[in-house]
Amino acid sequence: MRSLELTIDKDFLKAFTEVPSIGTACAPAIRLLQERFGNDYTATYVPDGFCLFQRRGAGPGALKAVFVAHADEIGGCVYGLDTSAQHIEAIDASSTDVFASRCWGNRPQIFADAELQAFDYLSKDGTNTFPIKGYVSSSNGEERLIVAAASSRILPYRTAFTFRTETTFSGDTVSGKALDPRVTAFAVCEAVRRLDTPEVGAMIVMAEECAMDVARKGVHFLQQNAPRLELIVNADVPWIENIGEGRLDLPAIRIFEGRNFIDPSFGIRTAETLMNKGVKLHLSAARSGSQTLLFTPLAPTLSVALPSDGIHEPKYHMSLTGTERCIELLVAIGEMSD
C-alpha cells in the first residue's frame, strides 16, 4: 500500500474535522471541499440540501456513479429566551440572557460537559465562532440543554453550536470531533478526485444527523438529472460496536443497516469480486443506519462503513490506515463501474 504520509493530507483532514457544520448550516465544511476540488470540478450547491461535485466538462447527465456522504456533525441550535432558567448561576455569571436550545446526536449532558463553539447558521466559513456554555435542566421530566454566552452574540433560532476540539494525530490514529462523518466524506471526495472522471461524482448531503429526510433533495435531483446512473455508494462512520467484526483499520460493505436491506445480493457479489482482487475490506452488517436506504431506488447501492472508536463525542478516534483503505475501496468500486 502507498505511504500514508503521501496520501492522507493531514492538514486538510484537521481543518475539515475542526470546522463547525451542523444541520443544514454546512457552508463552512462545503467551502473547504470546494477549495479541495478546485477549478477542475463543478459544484452544484442546493442550500438546505446537498452539494454535488463533478469533473468539469459534463453535467449530471454524464454521471454513472455517485458517491454519497454527509457533512453535518452533531450539535444544536439556540431557541428563545428561557426566563425560568435565568437564576442558574452555574451557566455563566456574566451572562444576563439564558436560552433554551435543541440538541441532537447525544444526551444534553454530553454537550454541557464539553467545550462548545457557537456560530451563525448562515456563516460561510465558520471563522466567527464564539464560546458558549451549556447547563442541563429538566422540564416535565425531560432533560434539556440551556445555553448562555458571555456576550450578546446569541441570536435566537439562528445561533448554532457544536464541540470545539482540536484534531490531533498520533501514529496511525486521528483523534477529534466530527470524525463522523468527515473522515468518510473526505474519503469519498479523495476517491472521486483520484478517479478524475465526469462519470463519477461526490454528493455531500446535509443534516443527516438530525433530519435524514434532507437527503431526499439529493435523491430527487439525481432522479431528474442523472438518467445514466448505474451505481450509488453511501459512506459513513458507525461506532465500532455497531458493526459486525468491526476493525478500525478495515472498511466494510454493509448489506444490512439495522432492519434495512441495502441490496444484499449486489453487495455480496461486489465484496467477493473486490476481495478476490486484493482490496482490503470485509462484508458485514450494522445495528445502526445511515441515509443509504433513501438512495436505493435510483440504482444498485452499496453501503460502505469505516468504524470509529467512540461516536458523537467531543473527542474520539479513527485509523489513518482505515481511511486510506476506505479511499482505495471506493476507487476500486468506481473502477468496476467503468
Same domain for 329 and 204: yes
Final residue in a domain of this structure, among 163, 182, 204: 163
Same domain for 294 and 171: yes
Set of cell numbers at residue 260: 434495512
Count of CB atoms situated within 10 Å of the CB of 241 = 12
Structural domain boundaries, residue 57 = 4-73+167-336
Same domain for 272 and 193: yes
Looking at the 3D structure of the chain, how many domains does it have?
A: 2
Count of CB atoms situated within 10 Å of the CB of 248 = 18
Parts of the chain with a pLDDT under 50: 1-6, 87
**Phi–psi pair at 233, nearest 5 degrees:** -130, 120
Final residue in a domain of this structure, among 109, 134, 163: 163
Same domain for 301 and 221: yes
Set of cell numbers at residue 136: 442541563
CB contact burial 17-32 (16+ within 10 A = b; e otherwise): bbbbbbbbbbbbbbbb
The burial class, CB within 10 Å (0-12 / 13-18 / 19+), for 111 is buried
Q: What is the CATH number of the domain that holds 55?
A: 3.40.630.10
Same domain for 176 and 260: yes
3-state secondary structure of 327: helix
The residues near 259 (Cβ < 8 Å, ≥ 6 apart) are: none
Set of cell numbers at residue 139: 422540564
Same domain for 171 and 132: no
Final residue in a domain of this structure, among 120, 135, 163: 163
Same domain for 175 and 159: no
Q: What is the pLDDT of residue 6?
A: 47
DSSP letters spanning 112-137: HTS-EEEEETT-SSS-S-EEEEEEEE
Closest CA to 183 of 329, 323, 10: 323
Q: What is the pLDDT of residue 85?
A: 55
H or E element in which residue 10 lies: helix 10-18
Closest CA to 191 of 102, 57, 62, 306: 306
pLDDT tens digits, one per residue of 149-187 = 877 789 999 999 999 999 999 999 999 999 999 999 999
pLDDT tens digits, one per residue of 290-319 = 999 999 999 999 999 999 999 999 999 999
DSSP letters spanning 182-229: HHHHHHHHHHHHHH--TTEEEEEES-TTT-GGGHHHHHHHHHHH-TT-
Same domain for 266 and 154: no
Q: What is the pLDDT of residue 1?
A: 40
H or E element in which residue 13 lies: helix 10-18
Same domain for 306 and 176: yes
